[in-house]
């Protein structure tokens, strides 16, 4: 289930005044079962990058392999790829169109050519996975609250039973509670089904809390790629490109500078709290 990009370049509107080099020589591999975060500024190429993963956008040059098969090869089953790599766009609720939630979620499986019963079974399963209340299955998707709409839209992609789930800013425009809800649900999905998840975000805090690996995009280039702690240890470089490490990273570095012998690798508030308590309990004894 791995997705491998080799030297992918993408140029928008080539040869016009609006020409833009959106991706520059990007190579990376996403392994099965990974929970990957892609971060970067607006216009850093992260949305363009993920649209390559299921073949919606064709690279200007370079190659993409899904399970070792070149997706640009003649006769490659693009439709098959799209049901394997489920892509949830930013503001996915803008794509809802059916009369009720259940039939909207059925749209994906229906396009896969499944029977009506099977579609509905998968739709119910997907809605359950995202924690959508059953009593609202037959409501119009346009009458739901923002958070519920988004759940329904994510379920619409999940109902296709993808092996890889790609989410583009799934929390944009939600309040903090809705944001945590959706992200917790995504983590639950990842843990329950072993699905590969790619989460695009510009919030370091969100990403730090959930993912195991971070890819940092900057001006169309892959800037950093590694485990969360490793990437945040480059917090000075991140700052230079206008991104910031989670606030706790700064707190920990400051504490260390001022003489408290803490490890600076903590990336979430909980980890930081535990680390500070550990050091305080053991007095001034330094580990180094």
Partner 1 sequence: MIREITIGQYYPADSVIHRLDPRVKIVCTLLFLISLFVQNSLSGYVIATLFLVFVIRASKVPFRFIVKGLKAIILLLMFTVVMNLFLTKEGAVLLHFWIFTITENGLRISVFMAIRLIYLIIGSSLMTLTTTPNALTDGIESLLRPLNRFRVPVHEVAMIMSIALRFIPILLEETDKIMKAQIARGADLESGNMIQRTKAMVPILVPLFVSAFRRANDLALAMEARCYCGGEGRTKMKPLVYKRQDYAAYVIVVAYVVLAFVAGRFAPLHIWIF
Nearer of residues 84 and 267 to partner 1, judged by Cβ = 84
Which CB, 114 or 265, lies closer to partner 1? 114
Structure token pair of residue 243: 């991104």
CA distances from 228 to 35, 39, 172, 252, 272 (A): 11, 11, 22, 15, 14
Site of tokens 């520059």: 24
Q: Is 52 exposed, middle or buried (0-12, 13-18, 19+ CB in 10 A)?
A: buried
User: For residues 8 and 160, which CB has a smaller minimum distance to partner 1 in the complex?
Assistant: 160
Using the CB atoms, write b or e for 9-19: b if 16+ within 10 Å: ebbeeeeeeee
Rounded to an integer, what distance in angstroms lies between the CA atom of residue 127 and that of residue 116?
Answer: 16
CA distances from 148 to 106, 144, 145, 168 (A): 17, 6, 5, 17
CB of 106 to partner 1, least distance (A): 10
What is the binding site for partner 1 (CB under 8 A)? 12-13, 16-17, 51, 54, 56, 79, 82-83, 86-87, 89, 92, 94-97, 107-108, 111-112, 142, 156-157, 160
Nearer to partner 1 among residue 69 and residue 99 (C-beta): 99
Cα distances (angstroms) measured from residue 192 to each of 119, 166, 195:
21, 16, 8
Q: In angstroms, give the least distance from the CB of 97 to partner 1.
A: 4
CB 78 to partner 1: min, Å? 9
CB of 38 to partner 1, least distance (A): 17
Question: What does residue 197 show for φ and ψ, rounded to 5 degrees?
Answer: -125, 130
The closest of 281, 224, 265, 273 to 36, measured between CA atoms, is: 224
Min dist. Cβ of residue 220 to partner 1 (A):
18
Contact 58, 4 (CB under 8 A): no
d(CA 82, CA 43): 24
CB 276 to partner 1: min, Å: 44
Q: How far is the CB of 93 from partner 1 (least distance, A)?
A: 9
The length of the chain is 288
Q: How far is the CB of 149 from partner 1 (least distance, A)?
A: 11
Please count the CA atoms within 13 angstroms of the CA of 21 that sit on its side-chain side: 10
Nearer to partner 1, 79 or 282 (CB): 79
Nearer to partner 1 by Cβ, of 93 and 181: the residue is: 93
Residue closer to partner 1, measured from CB, 30 or 105: 105
- Cβ-based nearer residue to partner 1, 55 or 246: 55
């Amino acid at each position: 289930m791995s997705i491998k990009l080799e030297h992918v370049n993408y140029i928008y509107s080539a040869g016009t005044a609006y020409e833009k080099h959106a991706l520059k020589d990007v190579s990376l591999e996403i392994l099965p079962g990974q929970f990957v975060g892609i971060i970067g500024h607006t216009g850093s190429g992260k949305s363009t990058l993920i649209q390559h993963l299921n073949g919606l956008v064709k690279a200007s040059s370079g190659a993409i392999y899904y399970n070792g098969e070149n997706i640009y090869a003649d006769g490659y089953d693009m439709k098959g790829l799209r049901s394997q790599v489920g892509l949830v766009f930013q503001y996915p609720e803008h794509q809802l169109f059916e009369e009720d939630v259940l039939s909207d979620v059925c749209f994906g499986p229906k396009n896969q050519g499944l029977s009506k019963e099977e579609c509905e079974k998968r739709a119910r399963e997907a809605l359950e996975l995202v924690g959508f209340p059953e009593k609202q299955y037959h409501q119009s998707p346009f009458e739901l609250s923002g958070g519920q709409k988004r759940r329904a839209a994510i379920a619409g992609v999940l109902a296709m039973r993808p092996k890889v789930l790609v989410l583009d800013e799934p929390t944009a425009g939600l309040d903090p509670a809705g944001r945590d809800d959706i992200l917790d649900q995504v983590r639950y999905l990842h843990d329950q089904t072993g699905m590969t998840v790619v989460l695009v975000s510009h919030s370091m805090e969100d990403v730090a809390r959930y993912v195991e690996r971070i890819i940092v995009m900057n001006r169309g280039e892959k800037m950093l790629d590694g485990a969360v702690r490793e990437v945040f240890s480059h917090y000075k470089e991140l700052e230079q490109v206008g991104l910031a490490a989670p606030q706790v990273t700064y707190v920990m570095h400051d504490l260390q500078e001022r003489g408290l012998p803490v490890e600076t690798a903590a990336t979430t508030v909980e980890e930081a709290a535990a680390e500070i308590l550990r050091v305080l309990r053991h007095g001034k004894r330094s580990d180094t």
